[in-house]
Amino acid sequence: MGDPALKNEGYFTYKDYVSWPDDERWELVDGVPMAMAAPSVTHQRILGILFKVFSDYLEDKPCEVLFAPLDVLIPDGDEDDDDIDTVVQPDIMVFCDRDKLLRKYARGAPELVVEILSPSTSKWDQNDKFRRYERSGVREYWVIDPLGRWLCVYASGPDGKFGKGELYEVPWSKKMVSSTVLEGFSLDPARIFAEK
């Protein structure tokens, strides 16, 4: 896919990222770029279902749910935007601190992130982004595998680390998915994989 990162090895920041072609989707984690493939129909169905579920739950509540593509800049400290080396586009993100939502992008970690796996990004989402989300203070990370029909919810513990994760496999899991971030939220995991 795109020229900028694949022809140039090295370390990149948001300043580089914004100069890349608009018709390509990229993410950066700790300065390392990853080209994002176009999502599948199944991916988009799951995204739509989850966005509606979160949106309905958050109506009249202080948190807000957003979906990709939206650049989320995750600084290590107080560096200028141009110097930030992590720019991600989570499939779904919930922000409870609205000060992080700027006009063109978000700056700072969401409270809750959902990533829907695809074959080309599975390792990236479950390793590089997992560690970066954990380090940046994401409180809850959902990983969804459309092919395997499973969902794993990782919650941040008192030490700031994601725990083992709660696995929900469809159709075997009968337990409702709950959230440590969104009090009172529950979801039947089978609903995520419902076909039209």
Q: pLDDT tens digits, residue range 60-69? A: 999 999 999 9
Neighbours of 159 (CB within 10 A): 7
Type of residue numbered 170: V
CATH class of 39-192: alpha beta
Q: Which residues contact 189 (CB under 8 A, 6 or more apart)?
A: 151, 168, 169, 170, 173, 175, 176, 177
Residue 196 has a pLDDT of 61
Task: Look up the pTM and report it.
Answer: 0.92
Q: What is the pLDDT of residues 116-159, one digit of tens each?
A: 998 877 888 888 899 999 999 999 999 999 999 999 999 999 99
Cα-Cα-Cα-Cα torsion 71, 76, 80, 83, nearest 10 degrees, comes to -80
Residue 90 CB partners (closer than 8 Å, separation 6+): 68, 72, 110, 113, 114, 115
Round to whole Å and give the CA distance between 150 and 122: 13
